[in-house]
Amino acid sequence: MNKSIDDYSINRNTSLNQILVNMAHSGGFEGRHLASGIGILKKMMSEKNCTRFLSFVGALVSTGNRGIIRDMIKNKMFDCVITTCGALDHDIAKSFSSYYEGDFRLDDQFLLKKDIHRLGNILIPNENYGPLIEAKVQPILQELYDNAKSKTRSLELAPSEMLRYIGSRLNESSFLYWAAKNDIPVMVPGIVDGAVGNQMWLFNQSHKEFRIDILKDQTILSELIFDAKMTGAFMMGGGLSKHHTLWWNQYRGGLDYAVYITTASEWDGSLSGAPVAEAISWGKVTTQAKQVTIHADVSTVLPFIYYSLLSK
């Protein structure tokens, strides 16, 4: 008990960065965890020998936070991305169309009749999603297939290899585009669980020798992990993307830096609800790691976190 909680002192001249810095001393509960998480991320970013992982759930890409994800990858703040197929779907769809504001309490039967999908309080016209993704992805896969075949290359590709090629054919609003441009691998262990994965399956129906080799990505991850002197992760949301990040880091003794944001509760034993500290018992986070779990909505706190990282 050597540190007192200071009261906030905010006036019209107080900058946002001052508030975020003061949160470490004035914030209580999750406010202090947020400040701690920002501090850990800043330390992780400044560590030259740290291999940095970014994981996030697909739904986040349906929001305006897609722009922050894109810019973090554009600015090479991370060395590897681990996400879900939904993130690919939204990234491609939003590269060529728009999503719209909605409400959590809209009538879903009415939306169905209007051919509109609802993702929380975001509205996605059907024509801006499935049909658009098919129209964009199929020609890209055909081009990738023709190029590989003409150069007698293997037609069994890792998901990350396919995504690098797809990203190279998108525009600068896309996080996949910048991942491809900056040679940052995008790992999607559940690649078939979404529209893009479905398009890969559909293409395979008429090109049987064109296949996904998911084990190739595991080899790429193993090389990243075993070559790393230190590792750190910024995990936005739980599920498969969080677990895969933790899973591979156990093979080097665990993460040295770990910041996790979740709204899930730990009392049901779910992976999404499990705080980072629990991963220490599995050897997925080191005992000496700088780590914190922030219980918050990612879409609310990510803009403040990114702002603080930029102002370091």
Write the pLDDT tens digit of every residue in 193-232. 999 999 999 999 999 999 999 999 999 999 999 999 999 9
Least confident of 62-66, 149-153, 263-267: 149-153
Residue 105 pLDDT: 98
Q: With bands split at pLDDT 50, 70 and 90, how would you rate the model's confidence at 1?
A: low
> Can you give the residue ranges of every domain in the chain?
48-97+128-300
Q: Are 256 and 286 in contact (CB under 8 A)?
A: yes
How many residues would you count in the chain? 312
Distance CA 34, CA 23 (A): 8
Q: Which residue has the higher pLDDT, 152 or 257?
A: 257
Q: Are 271 and 242 in contact (CB under 8 A)?
A: yes
Residue 149 pLDDT: 87
Write the pLDDT tens digit of every residue in 238-248. 999 999 999 99
Q: Is pLDDT above 90 for 277?
A: yes
Query: What is the SS3 assignment for 112?
Result: helix
Query: What is the SS3 assignment for 241?
Result: helix
Write the pLDDT tens digit of every residue in 59-73. 999 999 999 999 999
How far is residue 206 from each of residues 61, 122, 244, 269, measured CA to CA in Å? 31, 35, 31, 43
Distance CA 3, CA 32 (A): 13
Single out the residue of 213, 232, 217 nearest to residue 292, CA to CA: 232
What values do phi and psi take at 45, rounded to 5? -65, -30
Q: Which residue has the higher pLDDT, 61 or 149?
A: 61
Distance CA 302, CA 50 (A): 22
Query: What is the SS3 assignment for 123?
Result: strand
Tokens 């896969």 -> residue: 141
Q: Which amino acid is at 105?
A: R
- Residues annotated as catalytic are 284
Q: Are 55 and 235 in contact (CB under 8 A)?
A: yes
Residue 312 pLDDT: 59
Residue 66 pLDDT: 98
Give, as one character, the DSSP assignment of residue 229: S
Write the pLDDT tens digit of every residue in 159-197. 999 999 999 999 999 999 999 999 999 999 999 999 999
Residue 127 pLDDT: 98
Q: Is pLDDT above 80 for 118?
A: yes
Class of domain 48-97+128-300: alpha beta
Q: What is the mean pLDDT of residues 257-274?
A: 97
Rounded CA Rg of the chain: 21
Q: Which amino acid is at 228?
A: A
Residue 51 pLDDT: 98
Average pLDDT, the chain: 96
Helical pair 16-26 and 298-310, crossing angle rounded to 10 deg:
110
What values do phi and psi take at 134, rounded to 5? -60, -45
